Structure 1
């Protein structure tokens, strides 16, 4: 984990080196909706697992459950058992089960048509936060970004918030993120994104990669 204090100069230097890798990942996000319904649901489950847990750990256990058929057919106990290394795994297993029920139609996952009904990502995010238990503003933004529908949304995890403070975009890292606080910081990040001429989705992946050492999702 990087302990360097982030600067605008550093952002541009690292972006120059990692731009192709970052934009390749964003291209993958944009094309995800062309994939089967189950792949979209996998991304949702990944985002449900990420609060207070390592993203790489979450992705690894979700991928393992997909291969073993547990994510779509396992019980809450089966899923919780697989979520080793993920905090609050019993709660998150319950969230996955509830999401599976929410998006089930005649025994099949149907999620793409619902997402494509919304007129913009903000409306989609509000609906997801309201309807999908366990999904907050950050997780809903993360999910929408990962399926190519929220490239202008901010994913305000601890890495991004601390970095925005280091970059003087915000004065302090808030103790809690209410909807209003989240949206206020998100707008400040958009303004900063335009100022430094790095798109929002690129900026998020860039900051995350600087703080962790690699581009992920």
Structure 2
């Protein structure tokens, strides 16, 4: 790891810590007080994000929710609202499949399903294995955004770039196998321990360092 860059990161964190803590508190409230519909909106958002900007994906979710297509629309109807989202045909079908996956007796039951797991990593494994469109990054992103996965790495291109610049990884991988993902996650945990910056904070910190904002 590059000592000077690590010191700079710690200094940057001091200025961002309060904002990061507030954002993570927002995420925790979604699990504590939100509805299953709130949770599903976050899940659908994470299904949309691969190779698409978060600032484009979230307004699409808000549009779908506003007209109830998120909870009742078919893939073709959902597709029309996914403006500028890449691979929108596939992702529209994934949203409907996920909705069906979590529907019991006509109602979404995400809380009852996820509440049955003993830890976030077990929940992540189940999501990756059972929900179309979710890899390790997307599953971890979803769990973090609903207040359940702050210790999980969300290895998007912004995070990988900054881990490389910090000397945490030797190269930015072109593809991420499960083995590679978990290895980089382990190294990110080591960075968290070295700097004293909690994992959930570290992800938002690196993301904001790259994008200039703390978002989702």
TM-score, with structure 1 as normaliser: 0.95
Deviation of residue 62 (structure 1)? 0.4
Aligned to 2:82: 83
CA distance in 1, matches of 2:175, 2:192: 23
Please state whether the residue corresponding to 1:15 is helix, strand or coil.
Answer: helix
Q: Matches of residues 25-64 of structure 1 in structure 2 within 5 Å?
A: 25-33=23-31, 34-64=33-63
Q: Residue by residue, what CA displacement relative to the aligned partner does 1:147-176 show, whole Å, maximum 9, x if unpaired?
A: 111110000000000100100111011111
Deviation of residue 131 (structure 1)? 0.3
Q: Residue by residue, what CA displacement relative to the aligned partner does 1:19-52 show, whole Å, maximum 9, x if unpaired?
A: 1111000011112112111000100000000000
CA distance in 2, matches of 1:186, 1:65: 33
Q: RMSD of the alignment, in Å?
A: 1.0
CA distance in 2, matches of 1:122, 1:50: 21
Match status 1:9 vs 2:7: yes
Aligned to 1:22: 20
Deviation of residue 7 (structure 1)? 2.1
CA distance in 1, matches of 2:192, 2:10: 12
The runs of 4+ residues in structure 1 deviating greater than 6 Å are none
Aligned to 1:175: 174
Please state whether the residue corresponding to 1:156 is helix, strand or coil.
Answer: coil
The unaligned stretches of length 5 or more in structure 2 are none
Match status 1:202 vs 2:201: yes
Match status 1:105 vs 2:104: yes
CA distance in 2, matches of 1:61, 1:202: 26
CA distance in 2, matches of 1:36, 1:148: 13
CA distance in 1, matches of 2:85, 2:114: 27
Deviation of residue 10 (structure 1)? 2.7
Deviation of residue 68 (structure 1)? 1.3
- Say how many residue pairs are matched: 212
Aligned to 1:190: 189
The unaligned stretches of length 5 or more in structure 1 are 1-5
Aligned to 1:147: 146
CA distance in 2, matches of 1:86, 1:136: 18
TM-score, with structure 2 as normaliser: 0.96
Deviation of residue 108 (structure 1)? 1.0
